[in-house]
A and B are shown apart, each in its own frame.
Chain A
Amino acid sequence: MSIALIALVVARAAQFGALTLAFGGALYPFYAPHAVQRGAARTILIAASVLAVFSAMGWACALVFGMTGEVGALADQQVWSAFFFATSFGRFWLLRIGVSAALAVAAITLRNRLVARNWPTAAIAGLAAALLVAQAWIGHVATVPEPWRWIAGVGYAAHVLGAGAWFGGLVPLGLMVSQARRNNQGRDVEQALRRFSAVALVAVAAILIGGLVVTALRAHSASELFASEWGRVLFVKAAGFSAILLVAAVNRFALTPRASEANVVVLRRLGRNIAIEQIGGLVLLGAAAILGALPPPG
């Protein structure tokens, strides 16, 4: 793996992580408004929004480095001018960096009103969602032939928004559970868990259907998929996703009904399983970043 490719994967993973946290974290108070640890959730939202700007710029730098093969090109105004104005994707990149900056500025200036069921939080969720979906225009989806490109775009949008809602929502949920454990108060946790589970169910369906559509547009057959490096990373990602689903099922069916008891053991197990889901989500985002850098089969 070249340095340019490693830089690209790291920047993409940071961008995916930042936008997932921003979108899922900002969406959370709209379905669990009474179960938000506002201080910590706000700090995470601002940090994620700032990371979104830097990772977008890092991603663009990694691309220019990979395209030219020279680190010096990063300081060459002509190269950047060609990148932004002489390619089919350059204007999308300008817009992307601009919207990322708007996300960070909005998160910082509106920080006192975050994270609640209000328009500043909705604006953060909307900007992060737009950036997640717009990745389709600067990635593999951009090369899917018409008329399938729009179907791939819709599938991609469902996939990334589902992942954002689920994995991004796990962070404020985890904060809530750990707070409840300290306060010995489980009623709000049970309600938040039930609402999160309903959202997660829709999110899982979106992840699966969207992922299936995008994969179907990548490969003609399963054997072709198995034969490619892209396909093998995808299978690892799918296996990881299945494992996280199992942990989520234990949370939903075994632990959530007992959360209102405020039993220390139950809350501790819930906290541990949510942490496992969060770590699993990070691994999946890393796998997604690698997939974006590898050539799909076909």
Chain B
Amino acid sequence: MRRALILLPALLACGSASAHAMLERAEPRVGAVVSVAPTVLTLWFNEPVEPAFSAIEVQDAAGERVDRGKARVDPADPASMQIGLKPLAPGHYHVRWRALSADTHTTQGAFEFDVRP
């Protein structure tokens, strides 16, 4: 019993799992205004994501796709996902992402950023 009481706080103190991939940060940052047009967009999640069913889509203000197709998950850092971008003109851009985690749950979200030289 005493051992169980010691073990429980240890378990509580350890890193718990969110079990759903949540966006932790992005580059360009969420809602950022950047002066230099980025050539890639990278998203970092709180846990590894599955490349096969995860995706990023970037659109300009007119709704045209400005990304270079399929997003790629970095094998060295499976919690990050990256997509190449076409040359971006100054303007407003909309990002939509979808991430599948190892527990088979899908999360999705969206954010925007601006390019203003």
Contacts and interface: CB of A to CB of B under 8 A. Distances in A.
B50 A143 contact: no
Contact of B16 (A82, A142, A219, A293): A219
Contact of B50 (A88, A139, A144, A298): A88
Q: Is the interface of B mostly helix, strand, loop or mixed?
A: loop
Given A87-B100, A295-B20, A213 B11 contact: yes
Interface residues of B, number: 25
Contacts of A141: 103
A296 B19 contact: yes
Contact of A143 (B14, B47, B51): B47
Interface in B84-117: 100-106
Interface string A259-288: 000000000000000000000000000000
A148 B48 CA distance: 16
Contacts of A67: 53, 100, 104, 106
A218 B101 CA distance: 16
* Max count, chain A CB within 10 A of own CB: residue among B13, B14, B51: B14
Contact of A138 (B4, B18, B48, B103): B103
Given A86-B52, A87-B53, A138 B104 contact: yes
Nearest to B9: A216
B17 interface: yes
Contact of B18 (A63, A212, A296): A296
Contact of A140 (B8, B11, B19): B19
A26 B48 CA distance: 38
Nearest to B14: A148
A196 interface: no
Contacts of B11: 148, 151, 213, 216-217
Given A83-B52, A86-B52, A143 B15 contact: no
A216 B6 CA distance: 13
Nearest to B50: A87
Interface of B: 4, 8, 11-20, 47-48, 50-53, 100-106
Interface of A: 63, 66-68, 82-83, 86-89, 138-145, 148, 151, 209, 212-213, 216-221, 293, 295-298
